[in-house]
Each structure stands twice: as C-alpha cells, then as structure tokens.
Structure 1
Amino acid sequence: MSLVLPLDEWPAQDRDMWLNLQTEGGPLDDCGALSHLRATSLKTLELRYARWLQWLITSDAEAITLPPARRGTLPRLSAWLRDLSHTRPMTRFMFIDGVLRILSVADPTQDWAAQRKLKAGLKRAAGRGDRDRKLGRVLSSEVLFRAGLSLATGHAEAASTPLSSMMCLRDGTMIAMLALMPMRRRAFAGLRIGTSLYVAADTMTVALPGDLTKSGHPWEADVPQNVEPLLRRYINEARPFFMERGQQHHNVLWVGRSGTPLKKDALSPRIAEQTLKLTGRRIPPHFFRDAAATTLARSSPEHAKLIRPILAHTSFGTAERHYIHAQTIEAGRDYAALINQKRKARR
C-alpha cells in the first residue's frame, strides 16, 4: 500500500481546501495563502500532506470526517510522529512542518501554539540534517574538475566505441562544469540552449531565471574558460551524435544516448557513478555545492565571501558555516603536522 494518498483520492473538503490555498486571484480578488509559492514548493507540500492523509485513513479513520484544521491536534500529530520514528529527525520535522504550514493558513483563527512548540522541538532535534553522510565525501572543486577533464578527454579518446566516447565526453563535461559552476540539480538538468545557456562566438553564458533558483532571484555567469572548450565540444560533437541516434529535435542541453532530455533523476546517479570510478567516492550533484563552498572557504576569508553569490544564496549563513568548517579542517591538519614533527624530533 502506498504511503501517500493521491490527490484525486483526497476527501472533498481537503481537495477544495488545497485548491483554494493555491488560487491566484485577480486584481480585486483575494489570493490563496499559498499562491505565492512556486510549483515545486507546492508539490512538496502536497506530498507531505498526502502522507498525513494516508496515515489518518489507516490509523485514525474517524478523523477524516472532521474539518482538516481540527484534525491537527497535538495528540494526533504526536501519534503520527511515533509511527514515523523509523525515519530521520529531519524527515519527521519536514512532515510536521508541511502539514502545519497548510493547516495553519487554512484556519489562521485556530490556536496553533502547542503545535508550533512541537515543531520547534523537532527542528532543534533535526539540527541541519544528517551531516555524517557527507563526511569524507566533500572533495575540493579542483579535484572534481580534474576528474571531469580526465573523463572528457583521456577516457573519451581511449573508449572502445563512438557511443562510449561520446558518453565519456558528456559525463566529463557535466562533472567539470558542476565543479566550477555548482548549480542545483534541477537548474543544471533544465539548461536549454538559447534559453538558459547562450552560446556566442567568444563566450558562453548561463542565465537562470528565478524559477530555477532556490532564492527566486535570477542568476547569471559566464562559463569559465577552463570548461568552455569541453562544453563547446559536447555541443558540437556529442549532443548531435545522441540527437541523431534518436531522431530528436529540442534545445535541452544534457541528453541521453538516444537524444532524449537527461532528466535530473537520471542525471544524478550518472554523475555519482562516474565520480565513484574517478575519485573513489560517490559525489552526487548537490555535493558539488559543498565542494565549492569549502574550497573557497579554505582559500581565505576574502574568497569565502564569494560563496553567497556563486551559490545564489540570500544570506551569508552558509558562507560562515563553511568557513568555520574549513578552519576546523586546516587546524586539524596543522595539529597532525605538528605531532608528526615532534615524533621525528624524538627519533
């Protein structure tokens, strides 16, 4: 049985509530309380609420007859949390946060103080998520760029078939480009020639609209000169090769072996698998952003200031965290070097 209740199976009152919250009113009409959110954010909230509804149907069916906001009592949310105890703290927080976000705007007159206190406790327990999964997996951007360059050149030239060669060129270009232009996975997979990637005789520019950035602000940057030759070769050789194989005609930049768009769910494992072969560590696309931030922070406090514009963040919080993290790494290395020197002196 699915853990998520499909939208078309939601109770009528929940479906009506959800649609009303998204309503974009005219100049004289009231807009829904969630109408300002982007489609991806709305979909995330929808899935979290759908998980809540499925749990209610399975574990507390009588509650379905109540108005949506009246179901979100502290005892009922606590019972749901007990059934979610097998999930990570951050996952539990996100589920409760999503449901309360919907219910509290659906009925702002209800007293949500106890539920918000519960959410605050979950947020403290979750911290910033499971950091252990990144331990030892955040390589420097330079290492990742060299790995991509090696794959796009040496490995591509040594490939046994034209298809393998073109795939090496594509994958290597993706890795090298992400190393120096660490975009979010959705934005990277959604690049389109002539729309978000502009190719001129002497420059190549990435221009992301606000709906492809987390902050909602447009982001623009020239493709670095180190990456530009690889990207041009991919566009001129590998991409036409793939497009011809599948008789495809579109402007999506990254394509699969048959020319169809390489969607983010296929792009991520491909990059992770190739980095594992090249570096011995599986590096998914979103780790490239950590790599860039840590690389800049290790360089100098001045370079750390570049983290915010490069990653398109709205605050300096991430830059500060990575700078502190980098200082900790360097301090550990300095300490290890000092201990090593003392050991040599005693011999």
Structure 2
Amino acid sequence: MFDDEAGAAAHWSCGTRRHAEIGYGRWLAYLRDHVTGALDELPIERLTRERVRAFIAVLRDEVRMTTAASIVDGVYQTARIMAPDRDWDWLRRFQRRLQNEAEPLNRYPALTPTPETYAFGIDLMERAKAAPSASHLLNEITYRIGLVIALLSLWPIRRRSLASLTVDRHLIRSVSGVTLCLYPEDTKSKREEAFAIPSELRPFVEHYLNHVRPRLMRAGQPGAYDHNAFWVSQRGTPLTADRLYASVRSEISAAFGKPMGLHDFRRSAATTFAIERPELARLIPCVLQHSTMDVADRHYKLAGSAKAARRYAKSLCELQDRVVPKDDYWNSN
C-alpha cells in the first residue's frame, strides 16, 4: 500500500485478474489466427473498432452470448488499465450490447433441493465409513466428497472460499463446538463470516479431520503434505477449486441426473429458503453474503410462483376427484 510504483491494476482481486487474462488472451489468439502482422503492432494500436467487430463476429459463432460479453469485458478492462488516457467508451458500448443480447441459462431445472443434497452428502459419508478398508483411498475420497456436499448444503459459500479453507487458520475448536471462519480476503464481498458446525454434522467433520484427512495426507509424496489445506487430494496436495467443482458435479449428476455445480448450491439454498420459509426470505442476503435484496426478491417471487403452481395443481386434483363420468353427465344434476 506504500508502493508509489504499484500498477493501476494492483488492487484487482485474483478473480478479476483471471477474468482479464482470459478475455485479453482470447483477443490475442484471434489476432494471431486471423490478422496477419497484428501482433507486431503496439498493443494499443492493434485494438481498433473494425478488428473488435470482426472479433465479436467470430465469438458469436463459437461461444454463447454471455461468454462473448465476458470475453469482450476482459479486453475492455485490460485496455483501460494499459492506456487509461484513451477513450474506450466505444469498447464498453460493444460489451454492453453483447450483455443486453445475452440470455443467461435457466439454472433452476438443474437444482436439487437443499434437504436432498444434504441427506445425500450424509449418506455418502456413512457408506464410506461402513465400507471395507481399501488401499486405493476410494472410501476416503467418497467421504470427502460427501462432506463437501453436506457442508455446502448448509453453508453455500463460493468456490474460491471453499477451496481456501485451512485447518490452522479457518477452523476454530472450542468448548461449544467447531466453527469455520472466512476472512475478508477469502470472500467476494470482503466481509468476515463464521459458520458453527451443527451438532448433527460435527461427528462427520471430526472423523474427516482425525481419520480421513490424515490418510489422504500420508498418500502424497514426501513434502507434498507440507500444508494446512482443509481439503486434501488423493495425492496429499491441497484440493483445487476446479477439482472440488468437478468432483461434486459428478456425484450430484450421477445421483440426481442434474448437472449441478458448486454455485448452484447457492441458488438452491436461496430457492429452498424462499419456498419453504417465505416469511424469512429477507435473510437470504445473509446466507449468500449479499449486500442488497435483489437476489432475495428474485427468489421470493419464484417462491410466490411455486406456491401458485402448487395451489393450481391441488385444485386440479380436487376437481378431478369430482369429475362426473361422461356417460352419466347428462343424467346428473
């Protein structure tokens, strides 16, 4: 913070940097493949309206509109940092047009209700504990995935926050129980958050820490286990966010037939909350660490629609029970 030579993007988070890298990298790849000699020009000079229009035309054929908007936004963010004195409003307008055209995928059909995912996570852990000991760590891997699913069902934090958990810093044991903490640098909202492990889940967490995690740590090469990551891979190394995502998605898809990712646990929690306890929908921002009620209102409206659909279905069933057979219709009163 006292470095006068810090770059204009020094304040960017890792996620923002990665977003810019992906977008600008895609732009450079387009120039390499489609515009001869463009990479020999100065970075700012090669960024022209005509080339960006052609770049967008290629993106339209290759990716979804939401992805195209994200890529162009990465180019815009990089350009305004490299040349802050230039007018990049035209590039921003291009990105906004793509964003307005984009139609996000409807993720709700892919959601599994929170109570079902929680019960599934518990079932995975119980099956792994009861299974015969295996030398290839299949039981430990299954148990770990089950704990991830059960924990996310109750505490739907973001993927980066989940992967950042450590045993020595984020885990707090006390007389009252076990608490997991997140610090400002671990969250998108830059706010602290604490989650007290419920008594029902606490024995599973303790078993993971005392038995499953140590065995996974010992499976690694010498020196690989010199870390305090909460989630450990079968090689003894910290489990990455991408591997967490792939493992959970695979298990949920196999069990429920729905391609549910880590972020879908947040959608499912908010939707389940709003539908089952709509009078407490105002607590959704606290559950998801949001600063506004926009998401809560959206899920609250969804809850209203779901209730209306339930009432409609119930009315149809009641009406069907009272339907008079066609042959007796004209003889009835």
TM-score range, shorter chain: 0.7 to 0.9
1:55 corresponds to: 30
Q: CA shift at 1:137, angstroms? A: 1.8
Write the distance in 1 (CA, Å) between the matches of 2:149 and 2:285. Answer: 21
Q: Is 2:133 the counterpart of 1:121? A: no
2:245 corresponds to: 268
Q: CA shift at 1:65, angstroms? A: 4.3
Matches within 5 A, 1:300-319: 300-319=277-296
Structure 1 residues 58 and 292, CA gap change in structure 2 (3 angstroms): same
Write the distance in 1 (CA, Å) between the matches of 2:12 and 2:314. Answer: 51
Q: CA shift at 1:147, angstroms? A: 0.7
Write the distance in 2 (CA, Å) between the matches of 1:280 and 1:66. Answer: 50
Structure 1 residues 166 and 62, CA gap change in structure 2 (3 angstroms): closer
Q: CA shift at 1:97, angstroms? A: 0.9
Runs of 4+ in 1 over 4 A off after TM superposition: none
Structure 1 residues 223 and 158, CA gap change in structure 2 (3 angstroms): closer
1:331 corresponds to: 308
Contact 1:25/1:32 (<8 A) preserved: no
Among residues 142, 150, 169, which one is paired with 2:143 in the alignment?
169
Q: Is 2:51 the counterpart of 1:72? A: no
Write the distance in 1 (CA, Å) between the matches of 2:58 and 2:164. Answer: 37
Write the distance in 2 (CA, Å) between the matches of 1:109 and 1:165. Answer: 58
Structure 1 residues 245 and 108, CA gap change in structure 2 (3 angstroms): closer
Write the distance in 2 (CA, Å) between the matches of 1:286 and 1:106. Answer: 32
Write the distance in 2 (CA, Å) between the matches of 1:270 and 1:334. Answer: 38
Contact 1:158/1:165 (<8 A) preserved: no
User: Structure 2 stretches of 5 or more lacking a match?
Assistant: 325-333
Write the distance in 2 (CA, Å) between the matches of 1:297 and 1:95. Answer: 33
- TM-score by structure 1 length? 0.84
Write the distance in 2 (CA, Å) between the matches of 1:338 and 1:264. Answer: 46
1:340 corresponds to: 317
Structure 1 residues 116 and 240, CA gap change in structure 2 (3 angstroms): closer
1:17 corresponds to: none
Among residues 197, 205, 227, which one is paired with 2:171 in the alignment?
197
Q: CA shift at 1:105, angstroms? A: 3.6
Q: CA shift at 1:88, angstroms? A: 0.4
Please, what is the CA RMSD of the aligned residues? 2.2
2:64 corresponds to: 88
| Count of aligned positions | 318
The structure number with the bigger radius of gyration is 2
Letter in 1 for 2:122: L
C-alpha distance after superposition, 1:216-239 (max 9, x if no partner): 222222223332221111111211
Q: CA shift at 1:270, angstroms? A: 1.5
Letter in 2 for 1:199: R
Structure 1 residues 249 and 102, CA gap change in structure 2 (3 angstroms): closer
Structure 1 residues 68 and 257, CA gap change in structure 2 (3 angstroms): closer
Write the distance in 2 (CA, Å) between the matches of 1:303 and 1:228. Answer: 26
- TM-score by structure 2 length? 0.87
Structure 1 residues 234 and 117, CA gap change in structure 2 (3 angstroms): same
